[in-house]
Structure 1
């Protein structure tokens, strides 16, 4: 082979190597989780439509070693180039991200969509100042109460040590007499297995993921919050891509987001049936319990509006007008 030919081949290999961008995506949930599957489908579409120039490896089960409150900063600082996380886990850095974690503020996926539309411009500003871009979001199924015995009235919650996933849920359950413990998902499973918890507040999806029937008997379908999860990419990493690939990835995210939300809507009923089939007592809250929980929840809204920055009150008020 001539020197010219060898040089041409070497150039082609070098160009190919430079063109391929590989991102490892953090996600806290196991491979079988519906939103992990959403992320995998997104990654497959990105690889296909960029002709293999951008490859996203979905690292399920928190295998990159990050916990919820750390993820926003990890993406900001480029420790990971892309990640999936729930917005309300980042309230320590950005309090406004807790808006969709407010108890009973959204009572359906339609409500969640209304709030998201109003909050999205603020989310985007927050993401940009944290050196990242939100590619897509997914509303998760409502949070249920898992306990060892059925909860029929608010007094049944008294002093129960219940794991919560965000600050607002912690304050909310404390207001109704429980003893909530804010902790990451991985720590919650350890505490549950060791007998360190009396219950957990989370979705039916997470109840199946954690095989809660091995530790508890009852599920009360409060559905008191529809938390929002996002996939967010480090801006420096994103801006290194060609303009064409940036446009392709943004287009995929916009196209697939409605599909991912439809998957989430179906998820709740499917997973609640799995919990029932596994032997758990799944029941709706009594009227008395619902009334007590909703009264406590509304106090949290005002607290949020007063403490989450200048955008909190206008967005909250606009949403309540639209919801009602």
Structure 2
């Protein structure tokens, strides 16, 4: 006679694999750290693409020990001008920030967006390489480690009406992206103010602004052409965004992991410079397909007035910048000639 326990065992054996108790799955090792990477610009804009590239490179290089989670499109609740402080204070591990937004705090970070200093990605890259040690020291002074940079395509003027002459330039109420561009255009236009990109669209909709200084790259362009159907290719600047991590997060890593993350940053920077090849042509094609009229040769009188105003802007920057930053610019301009 079978005992109840023996009978139960027999039934368990006859029932087959379907009733086998589930075995515990082998859990993936938890990451050593998860870094949130905040960015005011859309994921499809060139800095947002850099964020995604860096995140993938870090995960691959560290075998998943470090995970980077991009938070684009100001979903952190912060604008670019607030991001630097947020990382320094440890509220977020990382930020990818447009350098010109911090010009009032650091004239050095205005260097890449100074008017008519660089006319191509090649020139912008040379200026960045010359200034790189200063950039690294500036971020370190703020408790951060600079890991990668992203160049933007050249800035132009998006406008509701074409900028055909000086009267049209004067009529602009233009959003500027840093203090120097705001001061320059304020001398020539009806209105010029710094406005964060994430705050801009309602102001365009109401007509408070009728022009924007921007490349309009990626997702940024898709928002601008709903309101501004003209683009003047003045090649104002080839500015930079900077991806940096807090030193507290950085110093928590061992030397091997730091080396892997730093290499991922170098690779991201190199890829972003390479991505500039043909980027303007791709942007212009997409803009034209969406009804934007592009003037690749703005009127000579408009360019002459803009360049004349830029001379005063550069002089004002020199008066506030440190001697090392001024020396970098002077050497660059001398070599460019």
TM-score by length of 1: 0.91
Bigger Rg, which one = 2
Determine the structure 1 residue equivalent to 2:151. 139
Separation in 1, partners of 2:179, 2:318 = 14
Cα distance in 1 between the residues matched to 2:189 and 2:69: 43
* Contact 1:34/1:267 (<8 A) preserved: no
CA contact (8 A) 1:218 1:280 kept: yes
- Aligned mates of 1:309, 1:206 — CA distance in 2: 34
Do the aligned residues in 2 keep the contact of 1:165 with 1:184 (CA within 8 Å)? Answer: yes
CA distance in 1, matches of 2:90, 2:277: 32
Deviation at 1:246, TM superposition (A): 0.4
* Residue 299 (structure 1) aligns with: 312
Match of 1:9 in 2: none
Residue of structure 2 equivalent to 1:180: 192
**Alpha-carbon distance, 1:290 to partner:** 1.5
Q: Please give the per-residue CA displacement for 1:97-150, whole angstroms capped at 9, x wherever unaligned.
A: 111111101111111112112211111111111000110112110111011111
User: Secondary structure of the equivalent of 2:236?
Assistant: coil
2:211 is the counterpart of 1:199? yes
SS in structure 1 of the partner of residue 156 of structure 2: strand
Q: CA deviation at 1:75?
A: 1.3
Structure 2 counterpart of 1:84, from 64, 79, 96: 96
Contact 2:103 2:110 in 1 (8 A): yes
**Is 1:311 aligned to residue 324 of structure 2?**
yes
1:206 to 1:297, Cα distance in 2 relative to 1, 3 A: farther
Distance 2:309 2:117 in 1: 12
Give a deviation string over 1:187-245, Cα, whole Å, max 9, x none: 11121122221111101316754432221221111121111111111011011012111
Partner of 2:280: 268
2:96 is the counterpart of 1:96? no
Task: Check conservation: 1:173, 1:180, Cα contact below 8 A.
Answer: yes
Q: 1:124 aligns with which of 136, 141, 147?
A: 136
Aligned to 1:257: 269
Tell me if structure 2 keeps the 8 A contact 1:137–1:257: yes
Aligned match for 1:288, one of 301, 305, 308: 301
The Cα of 1:95 is off from its aligned counterpart by 1.9
Equivalent positions of 1:56-71 (< 5 A) are 56-71=68-83
Label 1:170 to 1:265 Cα distance change in 2 as closer, same or farther (>3 A).
farther
Q: Please, which moves more after superposition, 145-154 or 53-62?
A: 145-154
Conserved in 1, the CA contact under 8 Å of 2:39 and 2:70?
yes
Label 1:208 to 1:279 Cα distance change in 2 as closer, same or farther (>3 A): farther
1:216 aligns with 2:236: no
The answer to whether the Cα contact below 8 Å between 1:204 and 1:272 also exists between their aligned partners in 2 is: no
Q: 1:207 to 1:275 in 2, by over 3 A?
A: farther
Deviations 1:6-31 (CA, angstroms, capped at 9, x unpaired): xxxxxx98x944x5200110011222
Aligned residues: 311
Contact 2:41 2:220 (8 Å CA) reproduced? no
Q: Answer with 177-186 or 126-135: which moved more.
A: 177-186
CA distance in 2, matches of 1:315, 1:178: 34
Q: Root-mean-square deviation (CA), in Å?
A: 1.9
Instruction: Give unpaired runs (5+ residues) of structure 2.
Output: 1-25
